[in-house]
Amino acid sequence: MASKAGQVKNLSRRSFLKFVGGTAGLVGISLNLTGCGDPATADEAIGGNGWMPTQYNAPGNWPTSVRGRVPIDPENPAIVRDDQKCILCGQCIEVCERIQSVFGNYELPIKKEFVCVNCGQCIQWCPSGAISERDDVNKVFKALADPNVTVVVQTAPATRIGLGEEFGMPVGTNVQGKQVAALRKLGFDVVFDTNFTADLTIMEEGTELVKRVTGELHHPIPQMTSCCPGWVKFVEYFYPELIPNLSSAKSPQQMEGALIKTYFAEKKEVDPKKIFSVSIMPCTAKKFECQRPEMNSASKELNDSNVSPDVDVVLTTRELARMIKRAGIDFASLPEEEYDKLMGTGTGAGVIFGTTGGVMEAAVRSAYFLITGQQPPAALWNLTPVRGMQGVKEAAVNIPGVGDVKVAVISGLANARKVMDQMKAGNAPWAFMEIMACPGGCEYGGGQPRASSPPSDEDRNRRAASLYNIDAKSKLRNSHDNPEIKQIYADFLTAPMSEKAEELLHTHYVSRADDFIPKKSEENKLF
């Protein structure tokens, strides 16, 4: 707003929102026309589906029922906040407390650090863009500029159906090939697909599950997935007694990272010390995961402390988009390119890791194979009970020789909390459980592009549909059929859960129960 004197007056976010929210007339209409969403009605709760927080629709000069915000540690490896943009609408609290059941699920005073699973859902819900991922783009640009460094990148299953939105494409557009082309254009030396290690995870985790069921491995059942670092941290915080139920298999990202600095380095004769390993993830918690002290298997395996952590930098989908934009690449006109060989082939089972139920579906397909030695029937290629946006899904899969195997699929940590409490009470009829921290799974992770409207199942379904479509069109739909998986076991790892596989592909967890005072009452209320 320029005044007559030519001075630019700063317009605060609050006054802007009051202006927009309070002036129902022309401004509201024009905003609707430009697609900025309907002003929410008063009966829609905070965090309703309007673009504008409801507090700003009330008369008066200060938003009503503002609720503050979640604490974010300045040292948080994944999430940062720009105070200047914060409007205190309380959406972050809403999602953190009600959907992820983290905020408010501990007693005060806090001890040393804020309890945070780094899931990044607060980013997705923040209407003013105040919360965002910790920007690591410059680290990557620096590595790319260094000719002595081999920069290897992996891309998660869900980034390919998210990235396009940053360039104006419809929700769920599959840009797998363009993504590879863009990464090459940015100067990445090798482009791998995390789908490959998703398949590998199925082999490791599936083998582990079979061993648990047969009693070969003295670990409790149900086995719970460990691909999601937000979920893993959640267990470490709130359910340390259930840590043994977590699969010891690393997440696909960390498997790929460990293998890049060992298997790839060995095969391609590259000095592991000069490999810079980047991963493009739909997730902010991955930034935390790659910094965990356990995640430097390559260094341990090679007995060389100069080898950096398995994954050096994690970029979110949004950061990759920013890199592409900064480099001035015309993303829409890029050709479709293929991933590099060795660790760049994934199956349809790998790609559906990107949505809730995907890991389960992939695991069931391969478990069927591992137990029966036969290819799974076509019904398992469309396991509808575990698909969809329901928070808790259950299914029973009949595997010849074993009978009905009960499985559960959960997304959203508040849902997980309910099921965990049920498990602690001894009521856990499942053999295998897939749990993802973010509602809907990775496709709507904390690192995915922000949609023009707040997170909704409509968008989630469109992204998921795109992933299932990729799976349906894949030539290979079972993890165990992946030729590169066969090759890596033959050439490098020998067999699932072999000694080498244990060292590189499996990990352990730590209890974080001492970081805070646990909630005394079971009542789920705010302090």
Partner 1 sequence: MAKGVLVDIPKCIGCESCSVACKLWNELEWDEQEKCKTAADRAKEPNNGLWPEEWTSINRFDLEKDGESVARYVKAQCMHCEDPACVSSCFSKAFQKLPEGPVIYDQSLCVGCRYCMMACPFDILRYEWKKAIPGVRKCQMCATRVANNQETACTSVCPTGAITFGDREELLAEAKKRIKEHGYVDRVFGEKEAGGTSWLYISDTPFEQMRFRTDVTTKPLPSYTEGYMKATPFVGVGWAAILAGLYVYNNKGKEPLD
Considering the candidates 44, 266, 294, 337, report the single residue annotated as catalytic. 294
In the chain, what's the furthest Cα-to-Cα distance? 84
What is the rounded CA–CA span in Å between residue 209 and residue 367?
A: 9
Which 48-87 positions form the footprint of partner 1 (CB under 8 A)? Answer: 62, 66-72, 74, 82-84, 86-87
CB of 20: closest distance to partner 1 in angstroms?
16
Least gap, CB of 5 to partner 1 (angstroms):
17
Q: Does the annotation count 126 as an active-site position? A: no
Structure tokens at 179: 């993504």
- 192 - beta bridge partners? 154
Residue 273, Cβ density class (10 Å: 0-12 exposed, 13-18 middle, ≥19 buried): middle
Options 101, 132, 226, 247, the catalytic residue: 247
The structure tokens listed for 204 are 């490791």
Q: Write the binding mask 110 to 149 for partner 1: x where contact by CB under 8 A, - elsewhere.
A: xxxxx-----------------------------------
Closest approach, Cβ 191 to partner 1, in A, equals 35
Is the distance from CB of 211 to CB of 479 less than 8 angstroms?
Answer: no
> What's phi and psi for 313, nearest 5 deg?
-140, 135
Least separation in angstroms between residue 516's CB and partner 1 is: 10
| Distance set, CA 120 to CA 257, 311, 491 (Å) | 22, 19, 38
Give the bridge partners for 277, in sequence order: 152
Closer to partner 1 by Cβ: residue 80 or 217: 80
Q: Select which of 205, 236, 319, 484 is catalytic.
A: 205
**For partner 1, what does the binding mask look like between residues 147 and 176, x meaning CB under 8 A?**
------------------------------
Name which position in 42, 108, 378, 425 contacts partner 1 (CB under 8 A). Answer: 108
Least distance from C-beta 50 to partner 1, angstroms? 20
The size of the interface with partner 1 (CB under 8 A), counted in residues, is 32
Distance CA(316)–CA(336), nearest Å, equals: 21
Q: Annotated catalytic, 361?
A: no
Which backbone phi and psi does 67 adopt, to 5 degrees? Answer: -125, 10
Report d(CA 466, CA 244) in Å as an integer.
34
Using CB under 8 A, which residues numbered 14 to 33 contact partner 1?
14-15
Of the candidates 261, 286, 287, 393, the residue annotated as catalytic is 286
Question: Does the footprint of partner 1 cover residue 46 (CB under 8 A)?
Answer: no
Q: Active site includes 286? A: yes
* Set 251, 308, 442, 466: catalytic member: 442
CA–CA distance, 250 with 195 (Å, rounded to integer): 14
392 φ/ψ sector (left φ>0, alpha ψ -120 to 50, else beta) = beta
> Which of these segments, 105-113, 118-126, 329-337, 498-506, binds partner 1 (CB under 8 A)?
105-113
Kindly tell me which of 35 and 60 has the beta carbon lying closer to partner 1: 60
Residue pair 280/154 in contact (Cβ under 8 Å)? The answer is yes
Query: 406 catalytic, yes or no?
Result: no
* 1/425 with CB nearer partner 1: 1
Alpha-carbon torsion (373, 379, 382, 385), positive or negative: negative
Closer residue to partner 1 in complex, CB, 45/472? 45
Residues 383 and 360 sit within 8 Å (Cβ to Cβ): yes
Residues within the interface to partner 1 (CB under 8 A): 10, 12-15, 62, 66-72, 74, 82-84, 86-88, 90, 93, 103, 108-114, 526-527
Catalytic residues: 205, 208, 227, 247, 286, 289, 294, 442
